[in-house]
Structure 1
Amino acid sequence: MKSSNPFMNSLTKATAESQRSQAMAYQQAGYAPSGAAGNPYATGAPAADPQGYRRSPNYGVPGAASDRPMTVDDVVTKTGITLAVIVVFAAVTLVVGASNPGLAMGLTLVGAIGGFIAVLVSSFGRKYDSPVVTLIYAAFEGLFVGGFSWLLSGMAIGNSNAGAMIFQAILGTVGVFVGMLVVYKTGAIRVTPKFNRIMISALIGVCVLALGNLVFALFSDGAGPLRDGGPIAWIFSLVCIGLAAMSFLSDFDNADQLIRAGAPSKMAWGVALGLAVTLVWLYTEILRILSYLNND
């Protein structure tokens, strides 16, 4: 409704003309006033910034919080770097084992303990997004994987089939990984809270059994019923392979959820660590099955 007060009408018109002139001046100078159309971050000029120049969406936000959102490429790149470090350090142990078996055994033990500690630090020390922790894990785990391959493939005793066994284990690991990625993408198996609870329970059960078998082996002359190559050992290794394969679904879903939530790109290091842990576990179990076959 138009006001009947001539003074108010004149004042309103003058104010509008002043604002229009100021906006045109800003645009000609290469700026846009706060609140202008086309600026999705405009919220009005604060008192400390009367000119209302357009600001970055991360203006005033600490550097850590302004990290760009994570993408699939970030996950692929970080995982590739992590696996490359594992391969390099695994090769170191294999080379050392050819000339100094005692040192190779020591590196394998150090790698196993160091990798386990790195996972604990990442999980309970809130270092999920730390590239340092992930790469330290990769280095230690590489030492362990190299020594484990050196022992179980028979390379330590000059088995001519050692290289073929290692290659078959790598091929099997890659095949399971790709297969589970297809399963996840097609939605053949949905990752739900119930699925994750079942997986966690099963993993805890496997860890308890493996720890009990280790304690038994330390106080006996054998490797324990779960690792002696007998029927129970076969069943246990097959169960572990199945759980490792299903764990990929949780890893993929975790990465997917972080990407959808717009998590910082550095979180991809945590995803890379989770995938590396699962890949190493799957590889060692496949190599163990192949060693049982080779011994038969």
Structure 2
Amino acid sequence: MRSKNPVFSRRGFSRDNGYAGFNAAPQAGGPAVGTQQGNPYAQGDPYAQPSGNPYAQNPYAQNPYAQQDLQQGAPPQAPVTTGRMTMDDVVLRTASTLGVLVLAAAVAWALLPVDDANIGRSYGIGIGAALIGMVLAFVQSFKRKASPPLILTYAAFEGVFLGVLSSIVDNRIASGAAMQAVLGTMAVSAGVLVAYKAGWIRVNRRFYGFVMAAALGFILLMTVNLLFAVFGGGDGLGFRSGALGVIFGIIGILLGACFLALDFKQVEDGIAYGAPREESWLAAFGLTMTLVWIYVEFLRIIAILNSND
């Protein structure tokens, strides 16, 4: 199964047939289901030979004494497995990426004032940073391997954009909006993690199909609304302002929560199947994009609610 994050559709996080073995490894909080039990989605370990695992290696290749032991009748000594992705790796890389993003946001907030005399310049810098961050995200998404400098640079530019946007909303629309959006993002993330680990969210092919269909419809509708706003002026079709804006903001947060569950599943599968350690940077990249999505939706809802006061 391919995640909504293009980075998770790379090797180590998906199968060649386009679907990750979602029930190949047991999800935390749920029973193990295998092909022997009639699971139509169980695909087995995508990292095990001969299923085309690019990371699997001959155990004798790293142990020059294994063949000698075998010839002498002794069982070969298995080489020590190193360099595999762990949860600590994912947490560390994600913390590093988010740390750069938060630091860049703080610097942008402090150095780019949003008073009447400077808001135009600051807003322009923020939009420019957002566009650069988007380009960097696409470049990393289509690279075969993770590039930590590229990912951290993306986080820095995304942080500048979020810093300017947050400063505008916090200082000109709703005081304390940025902190409220941060707390909302943290609450959603914690809630999804607890629900996923408890098995209340079952990430399978039906779940994936529903989320992707809903996301596609949401993105298309927002794109149409943006085009009407650009060429027709005003708020376009009104999907991003007023009562409709709040409703679609909530829908956006729910979609972000669903994407977060998909990301958790992809990370869990990568760890269970022995993805290489460098793949943890891709996990951090994907999780960061999802968290940014949720934060921006929260910030939008807060701005709409306070602008109507």
Give TM-score scaled by structure 2 length.
0.71
Measured in 2, the distance between the counterparts of 1:273 and 1:187 equals 25
Cα deviation for residue 57 of structure 1 reads: 6.4
Hey, what does 1:132 align to over in structure 2?
149
Hey, what does 1:282 align to over in structure 2?
294
Match of residue 257, structure 2, among 223, 245, 251? 245
Cα deviation for residue 218 of structure 1 reads: 1.0
Measured in 2, the distance between the counterparts of 1:266 and 1:70 equals 7
Cα deviation for residue 226 of structure 1 reads: 4.3
SS at match of 2:275: coil
Q: Does the 8 Å contact 1:96/1:103 carry over to 2?
A: no
Task: Give the letter aligned to residue 86 of structure 1.
Answer: L
Task: Give the letter aligned to residue 166 of structure 2.
Answer: S
Measured in 2, the distance between the counterparts of 1:98 and 1:88 equals 17
Task: Give the letter aligned to residue 34 of structure 1.
Answer: D
Q: Which moved more, 1:244-253 or 1:96-105?
A: 96-105
- 1:111-130 aligned within 5 A: 111-127=129-145, 129-130=146-147
List alignment gaps of at least 5 residues for structure 1. Answer: 1-30, 42-55, 59-66
Pair 1:34-2:79 in alignment: no
Pair 1:178-2:190 in alignment: yes
Hey, what does 1:106 align to over in structure 2?
124
Hey, what does 1:193 align to over in structure 2?
205
Cα deviation for residue 122 of structure 1 reads: 2.4
Measured in 1, the distance between the counterparts of 2:224 and 2:201 equals 32
Q: Which has the higher helix share?
A: 1
- 1:200-239 aligned within 5 A: 200-226=212-238, 228-239=240-251
Measured in 2, the distance between the counterparts of 1:126 and 1:223 equals 40
Cα deviation for residue 225 of structure 1 reads: 3.3
Which deviations, in whole Å up to 9, do the C-alpha atoms of 1:211-250 show, x marking residues without a partner?
A: 2121111113313234552222121111101100111100
Pair 1:88-2:97 in alignment: no
Q: Does the 8 Å contact 2:245/2:301 carry over to 1?
A: no
Measured in 2, the distance between the counterparts of 1:94 and 1:78 equals 24
Pair 1:268-2:280 in alignment: yes
Pair 1:292-2:304 in alignment: yes
Measured in 1, the distance between the counterparts of 2:291 and 2:96 equals 14
Measured in 1, the distance between the counterparts of 2:231 and 2:111 equals 29
Cα deviation for residue 149 of structure 1 reads: 0.9
Measured in 1, the distance between the counterparts of 2:169 and 2:235 equals 13
Q: Does the 8 Å contact 1:225/1:232 carry over to 2?
A: no
Task: Give the letter aligned to residue 148 of structure 2.
Answer: P
Match of residue 160, structure 2, among 131, 143, 149? 143
Cα deviation for residue 71 of structure 1 reads: 0.3
Q: Does the 8 Å contact 1:96/1:104 carry over to 2?
A: no
Give TM-score scaled by structure 1 length.
0.74
Which deviations, in whole Å up to 9, do the C-alpha atoms of 1:6-43 show, x marking residues without a partner?
A: xxxxxxxxxxxxxxxxxxxxxxxxx88432646434xx
Task: Give the letter aligned to residue 189 of structure 2.
Answer: F
Identity of aligned residues (%): 39
**Aligned-residue RMSD, C-alpha:** 2.1
Which deviations, in whole Å up to 9, do the C-alpha atoms of 1:229-272 show, x marking residues without a partner?
A: 22221211111011001111001001001001100011011111
Measured in 1, the distance between the counterparts of 2:98 and 2:292 equals 9
Measured in 1, the distance between the counterparts of 2:144 and 2:211 equals 22
SS at match of 2:232: coil
Distance 1:70 1:277, change over 3 A: same
Cα deviation for residue 92 of structure 1 reads: 2.0
Cα deviation for residue 106 of structure 1 reads: 2.2
SS at match of 2:69: coil
Higher CA-based Rg: 1
Measured in 1, the distance between the counterparts of 2:293 and 2:284 equals 14
Match of residue 168, structure 1, among 170, 173, 180? 180
Hey, what does 2:43 align to over in structure 1?
none
SS at match of 1:219: helix
SS at match of 2:149: helix
Task: Give the letter aligned to residue 263 of structure 1.
Answer: A
